Amino acid sequence: MVSLRDFKGKTVHFIGIGGCSMSGLAIILKNLGYKPQGSDIAESAFTNKLKSENVPFAIGHDVNNLKGASLVIYSAAIKPGNVEYDAAKAMGLPMLERAELLGQISRQFKTVIGIAGCHGKTTITSMCALILRECRVNLTVHVGGMVDFLGGGVAIGDYPAFLTEACEYVGSFLKLSPTHILINNIDDDHLDYYKSIDEIAQTFAAFVSLLPENGVLYANAHDARVMKVAGGCGRRVVTYGFENADYMAQNVSYDQMGCPEFDVVSAKGNAHVKLNVVGRHNMANALAAMTVCSDVFGIPLEAAGKALAKYHLAGRRFELMGEKNGVKVIHDYAHHPSEIMACLNAASRYPHHKLWVVFQCNSYTRAKTLKDKYAVSFSEADMVLVPDIYPGRDIDRGEIHARDLAAAIGAHRPCEYIPTFEQISAYLDEHAAPGDIVVTLGSGSVDRETKKLL
């Protein structure tokens, strides 16, 4: 087993350093006394963060980039065939996969809070980070998205605690050493890796089993699978929700833009909260963050609520991309049926005449396994447009096509298959009217493709 501690003060090379998680981990390593460097195929907002932190990197993969490296880090996106990966193997350089590195970093902190769940973890983690920052708890944070007030996906602190997004994909979070875990939900996502929802739930239970005897689980009281895991974990459990929970959101109302206002009620005190982000799901996310910050760090609920009034969603979360011909265009990372329904419920409260939705599924496996759920996920939309499937890491085996998704959705809501975003742009130019909104959904390249609509 390669031990990170053996490479302190030495050069650590990241293949794919421009990714959100990888760039953040490189910055954390620098703060811990290592010498990170790396390479990627293109610059990004995250490489800009690396520049500001004086972490060197090269654009383009090349064997020469490995010069001086004592340890090589690679992500799940880096496969055999990558010139740097293959060269590192041939040279016998010690190598660590990204999830293993994150796990070893977590073992260097006394307190480790893992924010987990199939949906909402980036938002909850970044909300926790803002509350703690505003309340002068300066700890190290690792988030799986672009967070404006962090200038990236990482914050460095001197408080002996580590707050990290804990991803369930390929069981990555099983590498962590958590003392506190929050699970927001357990859903049938990543079925390209997991065989069933039962296997997913078992993996979350295995994650919770990593808690020490004095560890704490924070559980969404309204998710049956989460509560089943909580019931058998043998650790202290703190619940949050809208009723019958330790921390509750009550007296809910919405303003004209769809932003919620509510009271938080708990044995540790009460607070009134007004958010500047839309949707019931983001109110639940805020309640989850307040629960963690109150219970772990003793943050007063009123102070947490005031901090969240400054919160704006992480990149690709109900992000206003621009406006054309009086039509606002919004993008959201939602790609699972549950996320789509939550997003469109929020969009329905946003001022508009007609709600257009452009949904690009990001996986053939996801399209095939979740087709029937996608079919009934667009009840708030006036019209759904479906372009070709984005393959991502998946392979087209000819088992499903975007036309099949469009037909399934079309049985419940008006829907059309339009292959490309260029064609969708022309369609919207002809049919959308001032005062309408267009919401583009998906986790692949949809954010970049959305710019074509503008």
Q: How do the domains of the chain map onto residue ranges?
A: 8-97, 109-308, 319-453
Predicted pLDDT at 287: 98
Sheet holding 327-332, edge to edge: 319-324, 327-332, 437-441, 355-359, 383-386, 415-417
Lowest model confidence (mean pLDDT) among 181-190, 249-258, 389-398: 389-398
Chain-centroid distance of CA 21 in Å reads: 11
Of the candidates 30, 121, 328, 368, the residue annotated as catalytic is 121
The overall average pLDDT reported for the chain is 95
pLDDT at 231 over 80: yes
Predicted pLDDT at 127: 97
Predicted pLDDT at 350: 93
Confidence class for position 425, pLDDT limits 50, 70, 90? very high
pLDDT at 105 over 80: yes
324-367 confidence digits (pLDDT tens)? 999 999 999 999 999 999 999 999 999 999 999 999 999 999 99
Of the candidates 47, 122, 123, 125, the residue annotated as catalytic is 122
Q: Is 35 a catalytic residue?
A: no
pLDDT at 192 over 80: no
Average of per-residue pLDDT across 130-141? 96
Q: Is 165 a catalytic residue?
A: yes
Confidence class for position 152, pLDDT limits 50, 70, 90? confident
Predicted pLDDT at 86: 98
255-309 confidence digits (pLDDT tens)? 988 999 999 999 999 999 999 999 999 999 999 999 999 999 999 999 999 999 9
Predicted pLDDT at 334: 93
Confidence class for position 77, pLDDT limits 50, 70, 90? confident
Predicted pLDDT at 392: 81
| Closest among 259, 243, 241, 261 to 251, alpha carbons compared | 261
The 3-state DSSP composition of the chain as helix, strand, coil percent (nearest 5) reads 35, 25, 40
pLDDT at 204 over 80: yes
Are the beta carbons of 23 and 46 closer than 8 angstroms? yes
Are the beta carbons of 129 and 150 closer than 8 angstroms? yes
Does domain 109-308 correspond to CATH entry 3.40.50.970?
A: no
Report the alpha-carbon angle 114-316-344, nearest 5: 100
| Three-state DSSP state, 87 | helix
What does R_g of the chain's alpha carbons equal in angstroms?
Answer: 22
CATH architecture, domain 319-453: Alpha-Beta Complex (3.90)
pLDDT at 109 over 80: yes
Residue with tokens 């303003």: 255
What is the distance between the alpha carbons of residues 79 and 136, in angstroms, rounded to a whole number?
41
DSSP state of 82: B
Could you count the other beta carbons within 10 Å of the beta carbon of residue 193? 15
Helix axes 280-297, 337-349, angle to 10 degrees: 110
Predicted pLDDT at 146: 85
| Closest among 363, 366, 343, 311 to 438, alpha carbons compared | 343
Residue 372 in tokens: 């029937």
Predicted pLDDT at 394: 83
pLDDT at 166 over 80: yes
Provide the whole-model pTM.
0.86
Q: Is 110 a catalytic residue?
A: no
Are the beta carbons of 346 and 454 closer than 8 angstroms? no
Predicted pLDDT at 296: 98
pLDDT at 151 over 80: yes
378-407 confidence digits (pLDDT tens)? 999 999 999 999 998 788 999 999 999 999
| Three-state DSSP state, 66 | helix
Are the beta carbons of 129 and 155 closer than 8 angstroms? yes
| 149-165: b (≥16 Cβ within 10 Å) or e | ebebbbbbbebebbbbb
| Three-state DSSP state, 115 | strand
Sheet holding 247-254, edge to edge: 152-155, 139-147, 159-165, 111-116, 180-183, 216-220, 236-241, 247-254, 260-266, 269-274
Residue that wins the pLDDT comparison between 116 and 258 = 116
Of the candidates 84, 165, 380, 449, the residue annotated as catalytic is 165
| Percent of the chain whose pLDDT exceeds 90 | 89
Chain-centroid distance of CA 312 in Å reads: 15
One CATH from 3.30.300.30, 3.40.30.10, 3.40.50.720, 3.40.50.150 for 8-97: 3.40.50.720
